[in-house]
Amino acid sequence: MENQVKTAQRLPHWMKMKRAEGPEYSRIKNLVTTHNLNTICKSGNCPNIGECWNRGTATFMILGNICTRHCRFCAVPAGKPLAVDPEEPCRLAEAIKIMGIRHCVITSVDRDDLEDLGASAWASTVRLIKETNPGVTMEVLIPDFQGRKELIQNIIAEMPEIISHNLETVERLTGKMRSRARYETSLDVLRYIASSGTTTKSGIMLGLGETNEEVLQTMDDMIEAGVQVMTLGQYLQPTASHMSVMEYIAPDTFEKYKEAGIKKGFKIVESSPLVRSSYFSEKHVTVASLRNTETLNT
């Protein structure tokens, strides 16, 4: 406990987070518990859980709570996953209906243990959510599926409004931070998603020792791959065994990156210390709507 207190005291003043409490927070927590669901909000120790759950939003995590990869930045438990739960898509779709959610975000652990890496479970989950909740919009934050485009196509075919896949960090630090993922593989995944006409999104963490030039180069790489929405947020060390924070990036630096990203051609750049992949994801659906309109008009 003493170490936790000292760590909290070292956080700069701009990293102040909203308390995880309140009636709406309690309602979401109870629904997640009673439907036996996982969220990256809790499993990933997201600093925005209080704010988001009090807005009635949550990022659901499918395919269990144990990841087959051991990334040095991620708080999700790693190891041998349990068998896929065939009832999970139904429980999730029903929970979204009860919550009255009009926009949902779905992510998952990596399932390198499965023959299809979890792609069929992903597709059935998206399909059932849309069937159970007509009119709901959706962002899916997917793994790299080892770069296998035929598996990614299963998810594209279900037509979520946004498909996101995170680069997580700059190219130089990828091998240090991500256990199996490769920078170029992730870019190939983003290119393939973008080539389908689906709104494509990606993000990175700052404070891991990256340089300004590397961040700007990563932006260029994303733009070349067809990414329209980018997120940048401060990395926070989940536990003592994870990668240490090298630097706390000031808010004005995040703002400069936002301005640079817009100039480079991103439609939306979410850039501030507490930004995470799904932060205010509902706003990003406007990019999908605009893109669909442009397609119809051409």
Domain ranges of the chain: 12-297
Q: Residues 266-292: what's their mean pLDDT?
A: 76
Q: Comparing 24 with 188, which gets the higher pLDDT?
A: 188
Determine contact, residues 62/121, Cβ cutoff 8 Å: yes
pLDDT tier at 260, thresholds 50, 70, 90: very high
Closest CA to 163 of 288, 292, 28, 2: 288
Q: What single-letter DSSP state applies at residue 175?
A: H
Q: Looking at 149-158, 243-252, 264-273, 288-297, which range is the least confident one?
A: 288-297
Q: How far apart are CA 292 and CA 298, in angstroms?
A: 10
Torsion of CA 22, 42, 202, 91, to 10 degrees: -90
Q: Looking at 147-156, 218-227, 287-296, which range is the least confident one?
A: 287-296
Q: Tell me the whole-structure pTM to 2 decimals.
A: 0.85
Q: Looking at 44-53, 115-124, 251-260, which range is the least confident one?
A: 44-53
Closest CA to 164 of 147, 144, 184: 144
- Alpha helices by DSSP H, listed for 16-118, are 23-34, 40-43, 49-54, 88-99
Task: Using the structure block, give the residue that is written with the tokens 């990019």.
Answer: 287
Statement: residue 213 has pLDDT above 80 = yes
Q: How far apart are CA 278 and CA 60, in angstroms?
A: 10
Closest CA to 256 of 276, 266, 241, 271: 271
3-state helix, strand, coil in the chain (%, to 5): 45, 15, 40
Q: Residues 211-218: what's their mean pLDDT?
A: 98
Residue type for 181, please? A
Determine contact, residues 146/181, Cβ cutoff 8 Å: no
Task: Using the structure block, give the residue that is written with the tokens 């997201």.
Answer: 46
What is the rounded average pLDDT for all residues in the chain?
A: 85
Chain-centroid distance of CA 181 in Å reads 15
Closest CA to 103 of 284, 266, 231: 284
- Which pLDDT does position 217 carry in this prediction? 98
Considering only the C-alpha atoms of the chain, give the largest distance between any 2 of them, rounded to a whole number of Å: 61
pLDDT tier at 71, thresholds 50, 70, 90: very high
Statement: residue 294 has pLDDT above 90 = no
Determine contact, residues 111/80, Cβ cutoff 8 Å: no
Closest CA to 282 of 194, 200, 161: 161
Strands 59-62 and 103-108: parallel
Statement: residue 56 has pLDDT above 90 = no
Q: Looking at 39-48, 138-147, 163-172, which range is the least confident one?
A: 39-48
- Which pLDDT does position 230 carry in this prediction? 97
- Which pLDDT does position 35 carry in this prediction? 66
Statement: residue 13 has pLDDT above 90 = no
Q: How far apart are CA 252 and CA 271, in angstroms?
A: 10
pLDDT tier at 173, thresholds 50, 70, 90: very high
Three-state secondary structure call for residue 159:
coil
Q: Looking at 33-37, 102-106, 200-204, 212-216, which range is the least confident one?
A: 33-37
CA-CA distances (angstroms) from residue 264 to 66, 200, 223, 257, 260?
A: 37, 16, 7, 10, 6
Strands 229-234 and 268-271: parallel
Percent of the residues in the chain that have a pLDDT greater than 70, as a whole number: 77
Domain 12-297 class in CATH? alpha beta
